[in-house]
Structure 1
Amino acid sequence: MNIPLAPTGPLSLGTHSYQTGGIVQRYHVHGSGPVCVAHSGGPGIFYEYLRMPALEEHLTMVYVEPVGTAEDSRLPSHPHGYTRERYSRFLQVLISRLGVPRVHLLGHSHGAFVTAYHALHRPEQVAGVVLYEGAPVTGPEHGAEASRMVEAFVAKHAGHPGLPDVLAAFGAMADISSDEQTVAVARGVLPSYFADYWGNEEKLAPFRDAVQATYISGLDENLVPESIDDRTALKSLEPPALVIVGRHDVICGPRWAYELAELIPDSRLLVLENSGHMGHIEEPELFANTVRDFVLRTGR
Structure 2
Amino acid sequence: MYVQINGNRLHIEVLGDRPGVPTIIAHHGAPGLGSLAEPRASFGRLSDAYRVVVFDARGSGASDDNGPFTHAQWVADVDAVREWIGAEQIVVAGGSYGGFIAMEYAIAHSDRVSAMVLRDTSPDNSNEAAARANALASARVTVDLEKFERIMTGTTRDDADLRDCWTEILPLYDHDYDPSLTARRAEATPYHYRTHNYAFSVNQHTYDVKPKLPTVTAPTLITVGRHDWITPVACSETIAELIPSSTLVVFENSGHSPQVEEADLWEATVREFLEEVHATR
Superposed, 1:122-201 pairs within 5 Å as 122-138=109-125, 141-152=126-137, 154=138, 156-157=139-140, 163-164=141-142, 169-173=147-151, 174=153, 175-198=155-178, 201=179
Distance (Å, rounded) in 2 between the aligned partners of 1:143 and 1:245? 16
Letter in 1 for 2:237: Y
> Which of the residues 208, 211, 218 maps onto 1:239?
218
Opposite residue 17 of structure 1, the aligned amino acid is Y
Instruction: Quote the offset at 1:112 in angstroms.
Output: 0.3
CA deviation profile, 1:147-205 (whole Å, cap 9, x unmatched): 222234x1x43xxxxx236766424424313222223322331110111113xx45565
Structure 2 residue aligned with 1:43, among 21, 26, 31?
A: 31
The secondary structure found in structure 1 opposite 2:58 is: coil
After superposing the two structures, state which structure 1 stretch, 106-115 or 61-70, moved more: 61-70
* Kept after mapping to 1: 8 A contact 2:24/2:51: yes
Which residue pairs with 1:98 in the alignment? 85
TM-score by length of 1: 0.80
* Contact residue 167 and residue 182 of structure 2 kept, 8 A: no
Unmatched tracts of structure 2, length 5 or more: none
- Alignment root-mean-square deviation, CA: 2.5
Stretch deviating more after TM superposition (125-134 or 201-210): 201-210
Aligned to 2:11: 26
1:68 has 2:59 as partner: yes
Which residue in the other structure is 1:267 paired with? 246
**Counterpart code for 2:38:** Y
**Residue aligning to 1:4:** none
1:28-79 C-alpha deviation (Å, 9 max, x unpaired): 122465321110111112312332254445433211210112576222xx5x
How far apart are 1:100 and its partner, in Å?
A: 2.5
Count of matched residue pairs: 269
Runs of 4+ in 1 over 6 A off after TM superposition: none
The answer on whether the counterparts of 2:156 and 2:197 sit within 8 Å (CA) in structure 1 is no
Contact 2:71 2:203 in 1 (8 A): no
Letter in 2 for 1:113: F
Q: Determine which structure has the larger helix proportion and give its number.
A: 2
Deviates further, 82-91 or 187-196:
187-196
Q: Show CA shifts across 1:222-260 (max 9, x none).
A: x67651111111011111111111111111110101111
CA distance 1:277–1:166, change in 2 (3 Å): farther
Q: 1:264 to 1:68 in 2, by over 3 A?
A: same
* Other structure's SS at 1:235 match: helix
Q: What is the identity percentage for the equivalent residue pairs of Structure 1 and Structure 2?
A: 26
